[in-house]
A and B are shown apart, each in its own frame.
Chain A
């Protein structure tokens, strides 16, 4: 801005010459300057006011917006911001079908030591040994007096033990918070539940992971803290499981068997009501030192799903079922049988041969190898294979147990004629007891495919049809007569109509070809009530021998597995809410 002088010389000279007062010019100029100045400041003030106004507007809008957000937001969102709970334990419970606790978590403490801050390590070791006699005193002393700065002493402490350790008064002994898995029912259902172990231990926490059974299968579900740790409900029934385990355990001792297994299966839903494998273990203390050479005898081994055995005459039902389903025979059709014969080039013999002709029903009641092999030859290799495949006997069962993964039945590499013959009566195809129980459930439930499950099912659709309802009905009647007058007469239970089939299979020789005569697996697969089947019960003993039978050492299933199954049914049928049949005479329609 060019500053105009207050008294410009040219103007002054001009005014002077005209005789005016030159001060007027100065006054005029001062006035002019003042006007310019006030204009300028006014404009500036207006700009500033405008700016401040905008600022106020923005802040008002912001405040209004925030207030609207606050007013429209949920109150609960404020509450949830309050500290999330960290007391609730990390792993969900496992319940049985009636809501009884099978596994739960309890807070406990682990004991660790910091040798650097220990005052009297020798005394501490001496007193610790008194509390925990299983610890190694020598090793502990070298650890405590050595260079280590940190070491674990004990995984889990009971409250009493913690108090006792506290009373030692050693500052170098410290506690880390831990969760402990408790299986209140001890050894019952131990194989199904499996067990847990700690992963990534640190002083402040440790991850618990499932190491076997449903604990391992459902590890993600159980350790998921969303949904407040919803419990996992199994299909097992604790009271039935306990009853079966007690009866089976007692009879296993009487028969001096190496092992035993039992499965109770709902024939419609495929729910596993009980699953027992003996010998068993206590899941609260899974560390079992097993010295034997045969892994099958390890208590941790689940015979019901992991063990594959040739289950003998119980397979005969599959051949008969296919023959009936194809319409080649009916239950009354008579078949020629011989004590010894050749079928499809394979020698077959019947040890308890009585009469030259047997009806199809009697082939099963008398458990005739020759009769079954004749039927197998009649239906042919392809039909036999398709039947076994339809029953799920060529694939792992779909049960949700980690042990069952990849347990595929062992079938011959090449299915030759002799395979057809021997498999028809139970040799040459090894499967797990669960496979067998599921196949029977499919055959007698009206012919619908059953998929076994360990989880409680509220509503499950019937599976795909495998055999016709008529065949299934015929099979039920035939299997009923096996119990009424065949190899399983000891399986009769007053009030509950039981049907089933026995199987006594010689075990393969160890390290040699052929079969041992005095080592058998004896099995009884039964179902009840016959008119409207609800449950399949499988009982199997590994190398039993019973002294009360016809022979000095009776091994056949009719004398070992059958009476035990009868005892089990007597005991569990009322527990399963089944009334004796005198009360429920009319046939109940299957399906729900």
Chain B
């Protein structure tokens, strides 16, 4: 009886120790991957910063003005002015049709 009790306790302790170790290994692995992810996030953020800066540089007012000038023939872009505003009355709405059903 005593032998059975002892061996059962031993097996219990061993298996608990194994589970604990397993958890510890898992935690370490997760922490490592979190670290990797963090580095990746940082790198992506840095890249995004670069791209944002590049985008801002490409969209700087001087360059846009030049682009509009160079491509005037194809795009015919001109600065917005009062002529671009129209009253709602000047919009021609489709009249009710007289079509016979």
Contact = CB atoms under 8 A, between A and B. Distances in A.
B42 A182 contact: no
B50 interface: yes
B87 A582 contact: yes
Contacts of A78: 27, 31
Size band of the interface chain B makes with A: 20 to 34
Contacts of B84: 574
B6 interface: no
Nearest to A570: B81
A82 B60 contact: no
Contacts, number: 83
Contact of B46 (A88, A185, A495, A582): A88
A78 B34 CA distance: 10
A87 B85 contact: no
A88 B60 CA distance: 24
A185 B56 contact: yes
Interface string B40-66: 011101100110110011011110010
Given A88-B46, A107-B46, A101 B34 contact: no
B3 interface: no
Interface centre among B61, B85, B87 (most CB of A within 10 A): B61
Looking at chain B's contact residues, is the secondary structure mostly helix, strand, loop, or mixed?
helix
Interface in B18-38: 27, 31, 34-35, 38
Contacts of A570: 81-82
A186 B62 contact: yes
Nearest to A575: B80
A583 B27 CA distance: 66
A73 to B, nearest CB: 13
Interface string A224-258: 00000000000000110011001000000000000
Contacts of B59: 100, 184
B53 A182 contact: yes
B79 interface: yes
Which 4 A-B residue pairings sit nearest by Cβ, starting from the closest? A242-B61, A184-B56, A101-B56, A495-B82
Given A101-B53, A242-B61, A583-B85, 18 more contacts: A85-B38, A85-B39, A88-B46, A100-B56, A104-B49, A104-B52, A184-B53, A184-B60, A186-B60, A186-B62, A188-B61, A188-B62, A246-B61, A495-B85, A571-B79, A575-B80, A579-B85, A580-B82
